Structure 1
Amino acid sequence: MNQPGPTASKPPRWVAGQLDREAAFYIAGHRGLVGSAIWRHLQSRGFSRLVGQTSEQLDLRDRSATSAFFAATRPRYVVLAAARVGGILAVDTYPVDFISDNLQIQVNVLDAARVHGVERLLFLGSSCIYPKFAPQPIAEESILTGTLEPTNDSYAIAKIAGITQIQAVRRQYGLSWISAMPSNVYGPRDNFSLDESHVLPALIRRYVQAKRHGSPSVTNWGSGTPRREFLHVDDLAVAILHLLENYDGPQQLNVGTGCDITIQELAEMVARTVGFDGTTHWDTTKPDGTPRKLLDISKIAALGWTPSIALEAGISATVDWYTGRTSSQ
Structure 2
Amino acid sequence: MIQDLEQVIYVAGHRGMVGSAIVRKLQGQGYQNIITATHAELDLTNQQAVNEFFTRHDIAQVYLAAAKVGGIHANNTYPADFIYQNLMMEANIIHAAHQNGVQKLLFLGSSCIYPKFADQPMKESALLTGVLEATNEPYAIAKIAGIKLCESYNRQFGRDYRSVMPTNLYGPNDNFHPENSHVIPALIRRFHEAVQTEQPEVVIWGSGTPMREFLHVDDMAAASIHVMQLGDETFKANTQPMLSHINVGTGIDCTIRELAETVAKVTGFTGHLTFDATKPDGTPRKLMDVSRLASLGWTASISLEDGLKDAYQWFLDHQSEARLS
TM-score, scaled to structure 1: 0.93
Which residue of the partner structure matches residue 39 of structure 2?
55
* 2:298 paired with 1:314: no
Choose which of 245, 264, 271 in structure 2 pairs with 1:278: 271
Which segments of structure 1 move beyond 6 Å, counting only runs of 4 or more?
none
Choose which of 265, 283, 290 in structure 1 pairs with 2:283: 290
Change (3 A) 1:40 1:216: same
- The alpha carbon displacement at 1:19 in A equals 3.1
Indicate the SS of the match to 1:229.
strand
Which residue of the partner structure matches residue 3 of structure 1?
none
Query: Aligned partner of 1:44: which letter?
Result: G
Q: Number of paired residues?
A: 313
CA RMSD of aligned residues (A): 1.3
Query: Aligned partner of 1:195: which letter?
Result: E
Once residues 18 and 125 of structure 1 are traced to their aligned partners in structure 2, the CA distance between those partners, rounded to angstroms, is 27
* 2:226 paired with 1:266: no
Query: Aligned partner of 2:245: which letter?
Result: Q
Which residue of the partner structure matches residue 105 of structure 2?
121
Indicate the SS of the match to 1:178.
strand
Choose which of 31, 42, 49 in structure 1 pairs with 2:26: 42
CA contact (8 A) 2:124 2:243 kept: no
* 2:289 paired with 1:305: no
Q: Which stretch has the larger CA shift, 188-197 or 130-139?
A: 188-197
* 2:215 paired with 1:215: no
After TM superposition, list the pairs within 5 Å mapping 1:151-170 onto structure 2.
151-170=135-154
Choose which of 115, 130, 147 in structure 2 pairs with 1:131: 115
Which residue of the partner structure matches residue 83 of structure 2?
99
- The alpha carbon displacement at 1:250 in A equals 4.8
Which residue of the partner structure matches residue 12 of structure 1?
none
- The alpha carbon displacement at 1:86 in A equals 0.4
Which residue of the partner structure matches residue 143 of structure 1?
127
- The alpha carbon displacement at 1:176 in A equals 1.0
- The alpha carbon displacement at 1:195 in A equals 2.3
Once residues 41 and 160 of structure 1 are traced to their aligned partners in structure 2, the CA distance between those partners, rounded to angstroms, is 26
CA contact (8 A) 1:167 1:250 kept: no
- The alpha carbon displacement at 1:196 in A equals 1.4
- The alpha carbon displacement at 1:316 in A equals 0.5
Unaligned runs of 5+ in 1: 1-16
Query: Aligned partner of 1:292: which letter?
Result: R
CA contact (8 A) 1:34 1:81 kept: yes
Query: Aligned partner of 2:256: which letter?
Result: I
Change (3 A) 1:281 1:327: farther
Query: Aligned partner of 1:223: which letter?
Result: S
Query: Aligned partner of 2:115: which letter?
Result: P
Once residues 295 and 312 of structure 2 are traced to their aligned partners in structure 1, the CA distance between those partners, rounded to angstroms, is 32
Which residue of the partner structure matches residue 251 of structure 1?
244
TM-score, scaled to structure 2: 0.94
The percentage of aligned residue pairs carrying the same residue is 52
- The alpha carbon displacement at 1:74 in A equals 2.2
Unaligned runs of 5+ in 2: 236-241
Q: Which stretch has the larger CA shift, 316-325 or 256-265?
A: 316-325
